[in-house]
Structure 1
Amino acid sequence: MTKTNAKTEQTGNTEQPSFSSKDFHKTFARPVYVKPSHLIHKNVEQAGTHQQFSTERKHPVFFVDLPSKNVSMTIGGLLPGQLTNRHRHTYETVLYVLEGKGWTEVEDERVEWKAGDAVYIPSWAWHRHQNLSDSEPAKYLACENAPQLQNLGVALREEEGRDL
């Protein structure tokens, strides 16, 4: 291990360097494999919707329960004819449409989508989604970097008209 002038802190049975801003040039990445609690979440939709999130969004949302600290994945749906509220968040989102057809409005641009399409929503962009079918639901996977920003304390979400 490289010696530094940094202070050390006791963590378990080993001493770890404790750095301050003056030691920035002395820090080097030392990747370590940390075994996660689990690698698979079977039958995601059979685990049920996330009640609070689904109620707030007014459509079913299924969280994929995996121990990632950087990205999240949810299975979301839009009920027939449903139009979501405009909202924005500090994290990026990539939607992959599994079923149905509709559109997503990002700021002042509307993009139409159907099963097999992917849609990118940049951070802090006002957006909303609509299912174009009056009889069939739409379903999508949403991948976001929300956990990464939550761990940094900078993940924000704002609903138009509610949080302003």
Structure 2
Amino acid sequence: MNTTEKKYSSKDFHQTFARPNYIKVDKIIHRNVEQAGEHDQFSAERKHPVFFVDLPTRNVSMTIGGLLPGQVTNRHRHTYETVLYVVEGAGWTEIEDERVEWKAGDAVYIPGWAWHRHGNLNDVDNAKYIACENAPQLQNLGVALREEEGRDL
């Protein structure tokens, strides 16, 4: 984030203008995301490989999720929405009491605060998806919550 950027408080409401300003960021590309390595804590918590896309977004995040052969993740929920785009493999996502199967080329929507988990249908090949979430937006507003079965319950 640009450290010279002004931080606003309630006394600055009158400085909200109809024309936004472009703010140059320090980083606009994250090359070879998976070569940067798994996110150690998050991957261990979820019990599957997760690679974070490290870009200075304030409203959306992107991660690459991997499921090893036969792997099933922990049940978890969060206040932010998620859209998964399946890049390779086949698996399933359980959202509350509904289970949907997916394969490469499919997209899955996970509503905010819905208990969910993911599983790989294949016992030989990996499955991989890209997850886009509005987590940074809710974090910046101070209302992002995440609950992991086994950690928080």
From the CA coordinates, give the structure whose radius of gyration is larger: 1
The Cα of 1:160 is off from its aligned counterpart by 2.4
The Cα of 1:127 is off from its aligned counterpart by 0.7
Instruction: Read off the aligned partner of 1:138 and give its amino acid letter.
Output: A
> For residues 65 and 106 of structure 2, what CA distance do their matches in structure 1 show?
15
Task: Give % identity.
Answer: 80
Deviations 1:44-63 (A, max 9, x none): 11111111111111111111
Q: Secondary structure of 2:24's partner? A: coil
What is the TM-score with the length of structure 1 in the denominator? Answer: 0.83
| Residue ranges of structure 1 left out of the alignment (5+ in a row) | 1-11
- Who is 1:8 aligned against? none
> For residues 43 and 72 of structure 2, what CA distance do their matches in structure 1 show?
14
Using CA pairs under 8 Å that are at least 6 residues apart, name the structure with larger relative contact order, 1 or 2.
2
Going from structure 1 to structure 2, the CA distance change for 1:26 and 1:116 (only over 3 Å counts) comes to: same
Runs of 4+ residues deviating >3 angstroms: 16-20, 23-30
Contact 2:86-2:129 at 8 Å conserved across structures: yes
Q: Does 1:90 align with 2:70?
A: no
- Who is 1:147 aligned against? 136
The Cα of 1:154 is off from its aligned counterpart by 0.9
Aligned-residue CA RMSD (Å): 2.3
Aligned pairs for 1:1-164 (under 5 A) are 19-20=10-11, 27-164=16-153
How many residue pairs end up in the alignment?
149
> For residues 18 and 76 of structure 1, what CA distance do their matches in structure 2 show?
37
